[in-house]
Structure 1
Amino acid sequence: MTTNLDIIRATYEGSSEENGKNLLSVLAPDARWTEAAGFPYAGTYIGPEQIISGVFQRLGTEWDGYNAKVHTYLADGDRVAAFGVYSGTYRKTGKPMSAIFAHLYCLKDGKILSMEQYVDSHPVQQALLP
């Protein structure tokens, strides 16, 4: 039996392509994905199409080597938290960054209903500055 923790792990621990496919397969049609204030993609995106175009396509085109490496997962019923470090180099400036993050997911019946991002956005913002 696949657990909520298994579902979330599968969106981080493979190749970018595998992670993306796994994420798409478990996003609820009306999933809410909230990027934190201060992050370049801040705001709430509703549904897989907005989430992919508003966040993941931008990450893939604006950053080199962008990665979200999780070091700790915590599961409590329908909630799973992932804690880790973002890294990558912003293409326009050539500046690298490393920033800690936490993602809090809410799931139901094997689908992600929501994700809330918490991030130290200062290092990310510094990478954006010329």
Structure 2
Amino acid sequence: METCIFFDHCEKDTQIVKQVKNLYKALKASDKEAIAKILADDPVWNVSPGFPYGGVYNGMAEIFGSFYSKLRNQFNSFGAMPETFIDGGDVVTVLGFYTFKSNKDNSTKFVRFSHTWKINGDGRIKGVWQVADTAQFIG
């Protein structure tokens, strides 16, 4: 079994898994230039109902101008910790945890997630279908 830090590329990583890892890295660093190169021109984020601001977001303006800006305002900190990457050909499914600190009590919580990233023919990411343990966000 190969072990590596999730941001690092492992010897056995496929090209699309590397691309998804690059996106997590760019999102964490807020590297807008890298994000724009990795994502397709009109990406779609399909966020679970029950998740804060859940819904479907089309295009960079909605994803980053609406969804992420609202999400960041709700928490003192919020981030994704991907653990497992599964290459499905034209999709990569990632299992991991969100970690966040609530604005209410500043307590740290961990919430399981599954992200399924759709990859287009030129290797750019078309979007994500996100599922999370939304009950953790209530209260």
The answer to whether TM tops 0.5 is yes
| Residue equivalent to 2:98 | 86
| Residue equivalent to 1:42 | 54
The 2-side partners of 1:60 and 1:97 are apart by 15
Q: Tell me how far 1:39 sits from its aligned partner.
A: 0.3
Q: Tell me how far 1:93 sits from its aligned partner.
A: 4.6
| Residue equivalent to 1:63 | 75
- 5 Å-filtered alignment, 1:1-130, equals 3-13=15-25, 16-18=28-30, 21-108=33-120, 109-125=122-138, 129=139
Deviates more, 1:18-27 or 1:78-87: 18-27
Q: Tell me how far 1:113 sits from its aligned partner.
A: 1.3
Q: Does the Cα contact within 8 Å between 2:23 and 2:38 map onto a contact in 1?
A: no
Q: Which amino acid aligns with 1:94?
A: N
Count residues in correspondence: 125
Q: Does the Cα contact within 8 Å between 1:66 and 1:89 map onto a contact in 2?
A: yes
Deviates more, 1:78-87 or 1:57-66: 57-66
Q: Give every structure 1 segment of 4 or more consecutive aligned residues whose post-TM-superposition deviation is greater than 6 Å.
A: none
Q: Over the residues paired in the alignment, what is the CA RMSD in angstroms?
A: 2.1
Gaps of at least 5 residues in structure 2 are 1-13
The 2-side partners of 1:20 and 1:118 are apart by 24
Q: Tell me how far 1:98 sits from its aligned partner.
A: 1.5
Q: Which amino acid aligns with 1:120?
A: D
TM-score (norm 2): 0.78
TM-score (norm 1): 0.83
Gaps of at least 5 residues in structure 1 are none
Task: Pick closer, same or farther for the CA change 1:16–1:114 going to 2, 3 Å.
Answer: closer
Q: Tell me how far 1:12 sits from its aligned partner.
A: 2.0
